Homo-oligomer: A and B are copies of this chain.
């Protein structure tokens, strides 16, 4: 059986496992005060190009989103997201559980268009009753998006400028960031994110780690008492080293990008196999998630030898499905898929 459901189907990249083994019996202090975590922080600060950035390691994506967003908002403030954004749909109301509304905007293949954002904010502040509504104070975007698409540098510059013009902060969900950085045509570097976002996270769980996400806050003091906030949200790992060692490894010798490049390369081969078989992608994704609208009988036949996800409800004659590659996808798997088409 082949598996293209997701990018979290294996454990960790072998180099990450090796380091966890090699350091296993070291005795370290807890809660992220150990030397591995400090080293990982330094490596990420350097990658981001901001010596003042604050870096924290949390365990998973939903947890990271809820903790950062709640910590950046107060009282009546809300976060603006694409209606297809992960926090809007697939996080079981984790943001609302912290007391804050997720305001949604129509999205184009997962992306918020700057014109839509600008018009929304202009209309909001022009509305005489806005004090009776929640206040948009933060924008949430993802790179790549839930549809595999990417913001260009120009788009990101504009979104950042628009947010700041209306007093909003910008937060970027990089659950699959490695696959964005490695995509052909991508012109947004991790340093750009450090410059344009008030906060973002570098996804580990889906890019080579057992678990773990690295939160990068632009400036010291952006979130006072963030250590305690992490604890309060149940997101502080006692053995912080588990995250520190993993990110130390991912950010040494270019491993994070290597994970990204492998998955993207396999995704392009997968896309080519579908195209060669006469199926054009439903979305033009340059990253590790590929979407196709396929005849239901083909879907049924493929399902006998491989797993993948439906994307949206199943249609009467054809349906949209998602195939995902990862740092671990083998050439054999791609070849077998191609042969099956």
- Residues of A whose CB lies within 8 Å of any CB of B are 3, 5-6, 8-12, 14, 17, 20-21, 23-30, 59-67, 70-71, 74-78, 89-94, 96-102, 123, 126-129, 131-135, 205-206, 210-211, 224-225, 227-229, 231-239, 241-242, 307, 310, 313, 328
Contacts of A123 in B (CB 8 A): 313
Q: In the bound complex, what is the Cα–Cα distance between A206 and B30 (angstroms)? A: 11
How many subunits of this chain does the assembly comprise? 4
Contacts of A63 in B (CB 8 A): 234-235
Report A170 CB to chain B, min CB distance, Å. 20
Contacts of A11 in B (CB 8 A): 20, 23-26, 239, 241-242
The reply to whether A24 and B10 contact each other, CB–CB distance below 8 Å, is yes
Report A91 CB to chain B, min CB distance, Å. 7
* Chain A, interface SS category: loop
Contacts of A14 in B (CB 8 A): 24
Report A211 CB to chain B, min CB distance, Å. 6
The reply to whether B234 and A60 contact each other, CB–CB distance below 8 Å, is yes
6 contacts between A and B (CB under 8 A): A62-B234, A78-B96, A90-B133, A135-B225, A205-B238, A205-B239
Task: Look across to chain B and name the residue whose beta carbon is closest to the beta carbon of A326.
Answer: B27
The answer to whether residues A132 and B10 also contact, given A60-B238, A74-B74, A205-B239 and a CB cut-off of 8 A, is no
Contacts of A235 in B (CB 8 A): 63, 234
Task: Look across to chain B and name the residue whose beta carbon is closest to the beta carbon of A59.
Answer: B59
Q: In the bound complex, what is the Cα–Cα distance between A71 and B97 (angstroms)? A: 12
The reply to whether B10 and A26 contact each other, CB–CB distance below 8 Å, is yes
Contacts of A28 in B (CB 8 A): 9
The answer to whether residues A229 and B8 also contact, given A96-B101, A234-B234 and a CB cut-off of 8 A, is no
The reply to whether A62 and B97 contact each other, CB–CB distance below 8 Å, is no
Q: In the bound complex, what is the Cα–Cα distance between A63 and B67 (angstroms)? A: 12
The answer to whether residues A10 and B30 also contact, given A92-B134, A94-B231, A96-B134 and a CB cut-off of 8 A, is no
Task: Look across to chain B and name the residue whose beta carbon is closest to the beta carbon of A241.
Answer: B11
Residue among A8, A62, A232 facing the most chain B CB atoms (10 A cut-off): A232
Q: In the bound complex, what is the Cα–Cα distance between A310 and B130 (angstroms)? A: 13
9 closest Cβ pairs, A-B complex: A63-B234, A11-B24, A92-B231, A93-B134, A92-B232, A76-B228, A96-B101, A9-B27, A8-B238
Task: Look across to chain B and name the residue whose beta carbon is closest to the beta carbon of A330.
Answer: B25
Report A315 CB to chain B, min CB distance, Å. 12
The reply to whether A225 and B133 contact each other, CB–CB distance below 8 Å, is no
Contacts of A20 in B (CB 8 A): 11, 17, 20, 210
Q: In the bound complex, what is the Cα–Cα distance between A26 and B98 (angstroms)? A: 36
Q: In the bound complex, what is the Cα–Cα distance between A17 and B21 (angstroms)? A: 7
Q: In the bound complex, what is the Cα–Cα distance between A5 and B28 (angstroms)? A: 10
B99, B228, B237: the one within 8 Å of A96 (CB): B99
The answer to whether residues A128 and B89 also contact, given A62-B231, A234-B66 and a CB cut-off of 8 A, is no
B61, B127, B232: the one within 8 Å of A76 (CB): B232
The reply to whether A25 and B328 contact each other, CB–CB distance below 8 Å, is yes
Q: In the bound complex, what is the Cα–Cα distance between A265 and B122 (angstroms)? A: 38
The reply to whether A78 and B94 contact each other, CB–CB distance below 8 Å, is no
The reply to whether A132 and B90 contact each other, CB–CB distance below 8 Å, is yes
